[in-house]
């Protein structure tokens, strides 16, 4: 069974060889030198949103910009947030492609009609560019597919909330934010898995000319 995550598949699809090596030979791309920093910031943002959830309110960064409310089952959300090396989070089997799709969500918005919209925090070192959000479209599509396969109705949209540092003063870093609303599609997510399956089950791809990991392996 091939294991796929919504957050990891997009970057791997940029280089078919890296995807093939991870699935067939368990050779993973190395993590960055400070991999714990984004995770730490995610925890801060989750705790911040939880404070507003307890009060039944929306955080000011999204109040009036998001249609619906924060998911109010804090215990269930905690399970879906904590991947815990594959023992938590949200999981579904994709027997069509012999895959297990597993991921952990950051936040969840309940639309007025009861459908669920995926919501993800993104930390950056600089302001968002016009096309930055497109890099995360597949991730949101696969979250929507996870909802659908677990018997929940996904909304037709999801959210990305970008944070980047704006200033520093007396031990406190101040962030600016930008909320992006994106359409999501479980069927588009299935198309991505079909493409990934074709790469994984095919012959080993050639090194990608623009992939720094391939260049390192070839050196």
Average pLDDT rounded to a whole number, residues 156-170:
93
Give the list of residues 6+ apart from residue 156 with CB closer than 8 angstroms, or none.
115, 183, 184, 185
Domains and CATH numbers, the chain: 2-218 (3.90.320)
Q: Is the pTM of this model over 0.85?
A: yes
State how far the Cα of 55 lies from the Cα of 10, in Å rounded to an integer.
36
State how far the Cα of 183 lies from the Cα of 124, in Å rounded to an integer.
22
Do residues 147 and 213 make contact, with C-beta atoms less than 8 angstroms apart?
Answer: no
Q: For 114-130, how does the pLDDT look when each residue is reduced to its tens digit (9 = 90+)?
A: 999 999 999 988 898 88
State how far the Cα of 182 lies from the Cα of 136, in Å rounded to an integer.
10
Q: Which residue has the higher pLDDT, 9 or 187?
A: 187
Which of 10-19, 34-43, 111-120, 123-132 has the lowest average pLDDT?
34-43
């Amino acid at each position: 069974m091939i294991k796929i995550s919504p957050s990891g598949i997009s970057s791997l699809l940029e280089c078919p060889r890296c995807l093939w090596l991870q699935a067939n030979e368990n050779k993973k791309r190395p993590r960055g030198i400070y991999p714990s920093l984004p995770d730490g910031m995610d925890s801060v943002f989750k705790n911040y949103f939880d404070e507003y959830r307890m009060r039944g309110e929306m955080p000011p960064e999204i109040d009036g910009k998001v249609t619906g409310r924060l998911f109010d089952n804090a215990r269930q959300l905690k399970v879906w947030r904590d991947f815990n090396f594959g023992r938590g989070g949200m999981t579904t089997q994709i027997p069509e492609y012999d895959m297990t799709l597993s991921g952990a969500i950051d936040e969840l918005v309940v639309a007025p009609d009861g459908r669920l919209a995926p919501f993800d925090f993104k930390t950056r070192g600089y302001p968002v560019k016009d096309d930055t959000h497109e890099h995360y479209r597949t991730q949101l599509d696969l979250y929507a597919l996870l909802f659908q396969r677990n018997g929940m109705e996904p909304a037709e949209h999801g959210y990305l909330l970008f944070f980047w540092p704006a200033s520093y003063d007396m031990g406190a870093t101040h962030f600016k934010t930008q909320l992006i609303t994106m359409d999501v599609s479980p069927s588009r997510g299935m198309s991505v898995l079909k493409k990934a399956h074709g790469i994984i089950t095919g012959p080993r791809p050639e090194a990608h000319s623009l992939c720094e990991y391939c260049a390192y392996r070839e050196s």
